[in-house]
């Protein structure tokens, strides 16, 4: 079983309110979100757009629910903009998370990303990097990685559908091109499976670099429709391609076993963006919590 002293369980607010599509859960309040996270039995969460921006205010809001901040997404643009255009806002982002007691900072390269484009097919129009692009990305990540290390933190790279680092091969390239002391990996089970990759294989190859885990499942029938009907990333979310662990097709047992074997330490974050009108956030949070307890003992 996973050691509860080494691994903590969080959930992302995107199941309640989708920051990329405010029409999904836009009416759900911050207070409802965090109270239901706690009710479902989670210890922490990531940060959404409705969260207070002041660390003192956020700490005060979370305190009654005993919730900690695990991390927060940060968009980098190393491949399409000047280095400092990412580095300067990163510093503010890092300082906020440090004030909240977080140890990892989620990074995803958004240069030429199509993940936020409603009408661009996610499998047909994926952006690619040339050698210069890979070098820019690696240099940029190592630059902010040094800042994080100086502050007792780590950056964790989030491979993501519709971006330049999506597939198994691209994750391998990124890991090869970056310093393991400066750049870590976020394993997202759902995004890796969605990209036709094998999350267990990625875990076995790069386990020593993994410092954050997103637990996300996939509905295979919807994934096939995404391909057949040339859906965008956002259209696929609306159609329900993502779900919580145990509700889709991914076999999590060997993934949890491997994480236990390598003595993973950090957060497990349930992240499954769905339409809350179709998938009640509290019910799905409770479903995920029960499944993880059954599988890991946490």
> Any idea where the domains of the chain sit in the sequence?
7-296
Write the CB contacts of 64 (distance below 8 Å, at least 6 apart in sequence). none
pLDDT at 184: 98
SS3 for the chain is CCCCCCEEEEECHHHCCCCCCCCCCCCCCHHHHHHHHHHCCCCEEECCCCCCCCHHHHHHHHHHHCCEEEECEEEECCCCCCHHHHHHHHHHHHHHHHHCCCCEEEEEECCCCCCCCCCCECCCCCCCCCHHHHHHHHHHHHHHHHHHHHCCCEEEEECCCCCCCCCHHHHHHHHHHCCCCCEEEEEEHHHHHHCCCCHHHHHHHHHHHEEEEEECEECHHHHHHHHHCCCEHHHHHHHCCEECCCCCCCCCHHHHHHHHHCCCCEEEEECCCCCCCCCCHHHHHHHHHHHHHHHHCC
* 104: nearest Cα among 114, 94, 112: 94
What pLDDT, in 10s, does the model give residues 227-274?
A: 999 999 999 999 999 999 999 999 999 999 999 999 999 999 999 999
pLDDT at 213: 98
Domain made up of 7-296: CATH architecture: Alpha-Beta Barrel (3.20)
Using CA of residue 172, residue 177, residue 179, residue 182, what is the dihedral sign? negative
Between CA 8 and CA 213 the distance in angstroms is 11
Distance CA 266, CA 269 (A): 10
| Structure tokens given for 73 | 């997404």
pLDDT given for residue 218 in this prediction: 98
Phi, psi of 22 (to 5 degrees): -60, -20
pLDDT digits (tens, 9 = 90+) for 88-120: 999 999 999 999 999 999 999 999 999 999 999
Q: What is the pLDDT along the chain (298 residues), one digit of tens a residue?
A: 899 999 999 999 999 999 999 899 999 999 999 999 999 999 999 999 999 999 999 999 999 999 999 999 999 999 999 999 999 999 999 999 999 999 999 999 999 999 999 999 999 999 999 999 999 999 999 999 999 999 999 999 999 999 999 999 999 999 999 999 999 999 999 999 999 999 999 999 999 999 999 999 999 999 999 999 999 999 999 999 999 999 999 999 999 999 999 999 999 999 999 999 999 999 999 999 999 999 999 9
Q: What is the pLDDT of residue 1?
A: 81
pTM reported for the whole predicted model: 0.97
Dihedral sign for Cα 221, 198, 254, 67, please: negative
């Amino acid at each position: 079983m996973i050691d509860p002293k080494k691994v903590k369980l969080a959930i992302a607010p995107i199941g309640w309110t989708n920051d990329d599509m405010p029409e999904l859960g836009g009416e759900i309040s911050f207070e409802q979100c965090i109270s239901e996270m706690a009710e479902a039995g989670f210890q922490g969460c990531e940060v959404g757009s409705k969260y207070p921006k002041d660390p003192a205010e956020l700490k005060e809001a979370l305190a009654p629910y005993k919730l900690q901040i695990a991390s927060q997404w940060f968009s980098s643009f190393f491949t399409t903009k000047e280095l400092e255009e990412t580095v300067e806002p990163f510093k503010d982002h890092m300082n906020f998370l440090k004030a909240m007691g977080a140890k990892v900072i989620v990074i995803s390269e958004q240069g030429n990303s199509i993940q936020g484009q409603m009408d661009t097919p996610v499998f047909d129009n994926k952006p690619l990097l040339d050698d210069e692009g890979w070098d820019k990305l690696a240099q940029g990540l190592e630059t902010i990685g040094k800042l994080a290390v100086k502050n007792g933190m780590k950056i964790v790279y989030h491979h993501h559908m519709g971006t330049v680092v999506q597939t198994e091969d691209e994750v391998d390239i990124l890991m090869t091109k970056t310093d393991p002391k400066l750049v870590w990996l976020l394993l997202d089970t759902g995004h890796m499976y969605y990209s036709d990759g094998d999350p267990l294989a990625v875990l076995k190859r790069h386990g020593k670099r993994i410092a954050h885990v997103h637990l996300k499942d996939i509905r295979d029938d919807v994934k096939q429709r995404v391909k057949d009907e040339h859906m965008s990333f956002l259209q696929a979310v609306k159609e329900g391609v993502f779900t919580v662990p145990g509700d889709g097709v991914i076999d999590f047992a060997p993934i949890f076993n491997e994480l236990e074997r390598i003595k993973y330490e950090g957060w497990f974050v349930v992240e499954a963006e769905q339409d809350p009108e179709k998938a009640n956030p509290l019910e799905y949070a409770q479903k995920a919590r029960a499944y993880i307890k059954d599988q890991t003992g946490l």
